[in-house]
Amino acid sequence: MLPFSKIAVLGGRGMLGTELCCQLAARGVTVTAYDLPEFDICNESQLADAVGDADAVVNCAAYTNVDGAEAQPNVAEAVNAGAMTALGELAARAHTHVIHVSTDFVFNGASDRPYNEDDDPSPLSVYGKTKLRGERAVLGADCPAAVVRVQWTFGQAGNNFITKFLERVAGGGDLLMVDDQHGAPTWTHDVSHALIELLEQQTTGLYHFAASGYTTRYSVAEHILDVLGLKRNLAPCRTADFPAAAERPLNSRFDCTKIDSILTRPRPAWKDSLTTFLEELKDNGRIPAPT
């Protein structure tokens, strides 16, 4: 049973926010989605209204254009860090519970093992640095707060690695996929379940959440083709073969032992969740037709 009757979801029409709002509404909670264009998280007056009208706030909003952040560091800083400082201060004054969603990009990916919550962050990109400052601002505020780092998320709303790959598949021709980035594709459906459990328990602190098991981007692409019964020439490549403005962590694997100790619903295996997601896309007619 959720101890909160009114929950504000910032970024509530994004990929994760949309799923979370649906699951909260299904539980009978009064949930309000705040998002662009009518809501600007950097507008402190609007943010104050959102916080003041809720008993709990879940922040799914972020500047997530990883390469764009290199060219627009001030924008990324304002959304990912500055707005989180304001959120923490407002929540402290209103005694409002906060859950803030963060990212694997706070790590540099150089470790040879999965990252746990005690590992020192060392982000490679502007995006990662601003997200780290944001999570520290929330955790450092005088309000009950939890930060949940997630990775490689996919869902029905918005673009993500899975839908972009399907578009490439529909375009025909040979496919290349990086085989040196390691992590776990994680469905927003599963993330939302975990966030709601944290709300139910009024949990505070820092947590890692990802689907169970580890894989590479290349193996994810192989699984997608296999599930959909598609025949394409798929070849592995390295991240370095495709230089980008922002450097990506090659190791995004999470040690989720801490959150496993409090969740009542085990984290699903990445293959199981991805298969279910692909079947839903097929049922909804959302698999792009080959050109």
Domains and their CATH numbers in the chain: 6-159+184-213+247-268 (3.40.50.720)
pLDDT at 289: 63
Point out the catalytic residue in the list 34, 63, 115, 127: 127
ω before 288 within 30° of 0 (cis)? no
Would you list the DSSP string of 100-114? EEEEGGGS-S--SS-
pLDDT at 249: 96
pLDDT at 231: 84
* 6 CA to centre of own chain: 22
Q: Please list the residues that pair with 269 across neighbouring strands.
A: 212
Q: Are 153 and 160 in contact (CB under 8 A)?
A: yes
**What is the token pair recorded at 271?**
């293959």
pTM: 0.95
pLDDT at 125: 97
Residue 127 bears catalytic tag: yes
Where does residue 268 fall: left (phi above 0), alpha (psi -120 to 50 degrees), or beta otherwise? beta
pLDDT at 232: 86
Helix (H, G, I), strand (E, B) or coil at 203: coil
Which amino acid would we find at residue 151?
Answer: Q
**Residue that has been written with the tokens 């040690």 in this structure:** 255
Residues of the chain scoring pLDDT < 50 = none
Identify the CA nearest to 215 among candidates 183, 177, 178, 250. Answer: 183
pLDDT at 210: 98
Q: Are 76 and 69 in contact (CB under 8 A)?
A: yes
Q: Round to whole Å and give the CA distance between 20 and 31.
A: 9
pLDDT at 282: 86
pLDDT at 139: 97
